[in-house]
Amino acid sequence: MNAKPEAALLPLDVERIRADFPLLSRTVHGKPLIYFDNANTGQKPVSVIEAVDRHYRQHNANVARAVHTLGEEATASYEAARDAIARFVNAPSRDEVILTSGTTQAINLVAYSYALPCLKAGDAILTTVMEHHANIVPWQLVAERTGATVKAAPIDANGDLIVEKYIEMLTPEVKLACVAHVSNVLGTVNPVREIARECRKRGIPLLVDGSQAAPHRRIDVQALGCDFYAITGHKMLAPTGTGALWAKREHLMAMPPFFGGGEMIREVRFEGTVFADPPHRFEAGTPNIAGFAGVPAAIAYLEGIGFDRLKAYEQDLLAYATDAIESLPGVRIFGRAKEKEPVISFLLEGAHANDMATLLDLQGVAVRSGHHCAHPLMQFFGVPATLRASLAFYNTRAEVDGFIEAIGRVRKLLG
C-alpha cells in the first residue's frame, strides 16, 4: 500500500522545496529564520495550508450529521484523511485507524479503553527510560487505579535501548509493552520488529509511539508486527490537532469507548446504549475537521519526495551537523545511537540550555531547550535540560553553518 522505494536516489532540490514552506522565508529579530525545532512541530507546505483554507471557504460543515451537500463534502474529506493514514501506515483495514488529536490522545485511548479494563493488582506495563511523558504518565494513571505497576527498561550511555534487558523484563505479569519508535530527545531508532517478535512469543501486546518516526521513515504496521501504533500529524507537515491510532481489529472490537457523546453510538436509550463499531466508537463529538482536511496533502507531500530520498538527505545533514556541533569547545552531545534520526541534543560548558535558546532566538535560530517532556531521561543523564537541534529535509548545510556561527556569538555574549 505504501509507495515503492525510489529506483534512483536523485538529490533533493532543497531550494525548490523551501519555496513550498512560507514560514521558512520570514525573519526573526531582523535575522533570517533558522528553524531547528522540527521534533517539536514541523512547518507546513502551501498545499496543506491551501487544503485547510479550501475547507473553510468551500466545504465548512460538520461531519456525519447532515445529508446536505456541505455535510457530505466535509464527511468525505474527513474520511479521506482516514484512508490516507491507513495507506501511510499500511493498515490492513481503514476501520483499524482511529482519528485522534495526536499521539497523546491515542495513547490515552489505549490506556483507558484497553489497559484499564484488563489490569489488576500485580500486573505490570513495560516502557523505557527514553520515553516521552505521553508514553509514561497515562500508564501511571491507570496503574494507580488498578494496583498495577509501570516498569522501565534501561538504556546505555550512547542512548541505545538495552534490548536484551527489555526482553528479559517481558515477564508473565507484563500485560502491555510500550516503546518509542524514535526518541524525541536522542533520535534513537528502536528495533521495533525485534521487540514485537519477542512480545508475540509471550502473548504481550506492544504499543509503539511513532510520533517522531512518521516524519522521517516509511511506517508499515504489518511488517513491524506491533498491536498499536500512534502518530501525530503536526510533526509530519499536517495541521496541529491531528493524529491517529492504528490498532489490530481484535483489540478495537473488545475495547469499550473512552469518550462518550455524539456519533459514537448506534442507539441511545436510558436503559442502555448500543455503541457503533470501530473506528467511530472512539470518535465522539466534533473533530478537527479542517485540520484533517490537510492530512492527505501532508502525506502526499512526503510521499512525493520519497522516503528513501528524504532519509538519504536527512542522514547526510545529521552527519554534517553532528560534526559541526562536536567541533564546539566544551560540548557534550547526548545520544550516539547506532541508528538515529536527525535530532541532536547537547549542552555547552558554562551555559544553561534555556539561556542559550533565548539568546539564539535573538540570532534568528529556533531550537528547543528544556527537559523535552522526558524527565526520566534527563535524570538518567544527570542534567536538568538540554539544547535540541532537530532537523528536517527542508533544512540546509548553510543553516547549520549559520547555527554554529550564532552559537559563537552567543558564547561571546555570555562571556
* Alpha carbons 25 and 238: distance in angstroms, whole number: 19
177-202 CB burial, b ≥16 within 10 A, e <16: bbbbbbbbbbbbbbbbeebbebbeee
**What is the CATH number assigned to the segment(s) 49-301?**
3.40.640.10
Summarize pLDDT for 193-244 with one digit per residue, the tens. Answer: 999 999 999 999 999 999 999 999 999 999 999 999 999 999 999 999 999 9
Between 2 and 294, residue with greater pLDDT: 294
String of DSSP letters for 97-165: EEEESSHHHHHHHIIIIIIHHH--TT-EEEEETT--GGGTHHHHHHHHHHT-EEEEE-B-TTS-B-HHH
Q: Which residues are catalytic?
A: 373
Summarize pLDDT for 313-326 with one digit per residue, the tens. Answer: 999 999 999 999 99
Determine contact, residues 210/196, Cβ cutoff 8 Å: no
> What are the grid coordinates assigned to 314, written together?
536527512
- Reported as a pLDDT band with limits 50, 70 and 90, residue 9 is low
Summarize pLDDT for 79-111 with one digit per residue, the tens. Answer: 999 999 999 999 999 999 999 999 999 999 999
SS3 state at 384? coil
**pLDDT on residue 125:** 98
Determine contact, residues 137/108, Cβ cutoff 8 Å: no
pLDDT at 3 over 50: no
SS3 state at 228? strand
Mean pLDDT calculated for residue range 56-79? 94
Q: What are phi and psi of 142, to 5 degrees?
A: -75, -30
Summarize pLDDT for 153-166 with one digit per residue, the tens. Answer: 999 999 999 999 99
Residue type, 142: V
Q: Is 20 left (phi over 0), alpha (psi -120 to 50) or beta?
A: alpha
Q: Which CATH superfamily is domain 14-44+306-414 in?
A: Aspartate Aminotransferase, domain 1 (3.90.1150.10)
Q: Give Cα 174 to chain centroid, integer Å.
A: 25
For the chain, the structural domain boundaries read 14-44+306-414, 49-301
387: nearest Cα among 340, 338, 321, 337:
321
pLDDT at 147 over 70: yes
Determine contact, residues 262/284, Cβ cutoff 8 Å: yes
Mean pLDDT calculated for residue range 242-259? 96
* Alpha carbons 406 and 300: distance in angstroms, whole number: 35
Mean pLDDT calculated for residue range 272-281? 89
CB atoms < 10 A from the CB of 253, how many?
Answer: 12
**Helix-strand-coil percent breakdown of the chain, rounded to 5?**
45, 20, 40
**pLDDT on residue 260:** 83
Per DSSP, what are the bridge partners of residue 231?
244
- Reported as a pLDDT band with limits 50, 70 and 90, residue 65 is confident
Summarize pLDDT for 391-413 with one digit per residue, the tens. Answer: 999 999 999 999 999 999 999 88
Provide the mean pLDDT of the chain: 95
Q: Which residue has the cell 542534567?
A: 383
CB atoms < 10 A from the CB of 20, how many?
Answer: 17
> What are the grid coordinates assigned to 330, written together?
566544551
> What are the grid coordinates assigned to 354, written together?
534555556
Q: Which residue has the cell 502525506?
A: 299
* Alpha carbons 290 and 242: distance in angstroms, whole number: 10
42: nearest Cα among 16, 56, 55, 24:
24
SS3 state at 64? coil
Full 3-state SS string of 65-82: CCCCHHHHHHHHHHHHHH
* Alpha carbons 51 and 390: distance in angstroms, whole number: 26
298: nearest Cα among 258, 239, 348, 357:
239
**pLDDT on residue 263:** 81
Name the H helices within 240-386: 249-254, 289-293, 295-305, 307-326, 353-362, 375-381
pLDDT > 90: percent of the chain: 91
pLDDT at 1 over 60: no
* Alpha carbons 104 and 232: distance in angstroms, whole number: 8
Angle between helix 397-414 and helix 307-326 axes, rounded to 10 deg: 30
* Alpha carbons 130 and 402: distance in angstroms, whole number: 30
